[in-house]
Amino acid sequence: MSQPSIKKVALAYSGGLDTSVILKWLQETYGCEVVTFTADIGQGEEVEPARAKAQALGIKEIYIDDLREEFARDFVFPMFRANTIYEGEYLLGTSIARPLIAKRLIEIVNETGCDAIAHGATGKGNDQVRFELGAYALKPDIKVIAPWREWDLTSRETLLAYAEKHGIPIEQKRAGSSPYSMDANLLHISYEGRVLEDPWAEPEEDMWRWTVSPENAPDKPTYIELSFERGDVVAIDGQRLSPASVLAELNRIGGANGIGRLDIVENRYVGMKSRGCYETPGGTIILKAHRAIESITLDREVAHLKDEQIARYASLIYNGYWWSPERLVLQQLIDASQVNVNGEVRLKLYKGNVTVVGRKSESNSLFDPNIATFEDDKGAYNQKDAEGFIKLNALRLRIAGKKGAKFI
């Protein structure tokens, strides 16, 4: 069915089976010009071949952008300042990449005069929500085309048949390639589908790509020191690195020590439960270290206030509300809390475990050994003051007890 109102579409394009079929389907169904956008966010695969594939399908405007630094600096690091995890475990590796892709798509729309965007997210998943909420927030009147919600190509077999019919070159899966549905970027790699659709089935060992099994990790621990400035890691073992380089190096070190594997069943925003496995070695290390440096530099009530926001902040990212006013306000609170989060953390990495073994901050530590000591504090803390403190806090409990209130 032709849609003459759509003249030009910006397509989030990987060059794989789905988006290659979508590209041709857009040309056929809407009779429109297509602009392709391929993002390098550290997925570890060559993105340049997408250019040749797009050119073979007649595309003239092709964007292939290296967004690794922007991804780490403006999305991953701000998220980690909040110690963000979803449902107590998931480090949001897929979720946090989507608002960046949506942002760049809208920039391309504005640069090229497109009147719509298109993506390859299915109608069952979270990504359709994340892409589209981001797009609507940044360009309220943008039109969105989601082929998986429109066409009748409902399986890999029908997609392959469409590709063959229209002469779309598709690389077949190579011997030894993963049978799972995978998504990778600088922060993580995810696995879904096949045996993982049974939540009782243990993942196969050869599924994992970034991490050695903890059993096969080195028998000798690895020690590293991370330097923080305003809540962000800026150096590893004294060597200053860019945000993207920090993530890449910690992925390497953590992966070699079996760190960052996760197997969870999560609640998707669209309503279903989904089982997924994740590898996030660098992120796992950063979060552990960040909490450690905060433990000596953050005021107690500020730290507790931040902790109260974790579930809310994580849900905003997971559900696609990165560009919402509430996330932006929360980010201001979080960033303001990080002004004094400066110092060093020493970590021991051993067979899948990350252990904090030291933390210090020369200028911002609130830890006072003269007060905290179990030895003679030389009058720094008057222990008799605790009696009045306890009695004042017990007042309401004592009153209730005298009145015969029952709590159990």
Selected catalytic residue, list 2, 5, 181, 242: 181
Selected catalytic residue, list 127, 227, 274, 361: 127
Active site residue 335: no
Buried b (16+ CB within 10 A) or exposed e, 77-97: bbbbbbbbbbeeebbbbbbbb
Residue 24 counted as domain residue: yes
Residue 158 counted as domain residue: yes
Same domain? 161 vs 27: yes
Same domain? 148 vs 246: no
Same domain? 218 vs 291: yes
Same domain? 116 vs 236: no
**Total count of domains within the chain:** 2
Q: Is 324 exposed, middle or buried (0-12, 13-18, 19+ CB in 10 A)?
A: middle
Mean pLDDT, range 96-114, rounded to an integer:
97
Residue 221 counted as domain residue: yes
Residue 227 counted as domain residue: yes
Look up the CATH number of the domain holding residue 147: 3.40.50.620
Name the percent of the chain in helix, strand, coil, to the closest 5: 45, 20, 40
Same domain? 215 vs 154: no
Please give the Cα distance from 99 to 381 (Å, whole number): 50
Residue 135 counted as domain residue: yes
Same domain? 212 vs 107: no
Same domain? 200 vs 157: no
The pTM (predicted TM-score) of the whole model is: 0.92
Active site residue 295: no
Look up the CATH number of the domain holding residue 270: 3.90.1260.10
Same domain? 205 vs 293: yes
Active site residue 14: no
Active site residue 127: yes
Instruction: Give the list of residues 6+ apart from residue 67 with CB closer than 8 angstroms, or none.
Output: 39, 40, 41, 100, 104
DSSP string, 308-370: HHHHHHHHHHHTT-TTSHHHHHHHHHHHHHTTT--EEEEEEEETTEEEEEEEE-TTT----HH
CB 363 within 8 A of CB 342: yes
The 10s digit of each residue's pLDDT in 196-214 is 999 999 999 999 999 999 9
Residue 290 counted as domain residue: yes
Same domain? 227 vs 264: yes
Residue 126 counted as domain residue: yes
The 10s digit of each residue's pLDDT in 318-357 is 999 999 999 999 999 999 999 999 999 999 999 999 999 9
User: Which of these three, 140, 165, 190, is where a domain ends?
Assistant: 165
Residue 319 counted as domain residue: no
Higher pLDDT, 256 or 45: 256
The 10s digit of each residue's pLDDT in 206-249 is 999 999 999 999 999 999 999 999 999 999 999 999 999 999 99
Selected catalytic residue, list 20, 40, 81, 98: 98
Same domain? 224 vs 350: yes
Same domain? 111 vs 202: no
Same domain? 41 vs 156: yes
For 270, the domain range is 181-298+340-360
H-run or E-run covering 234: strand 232-236
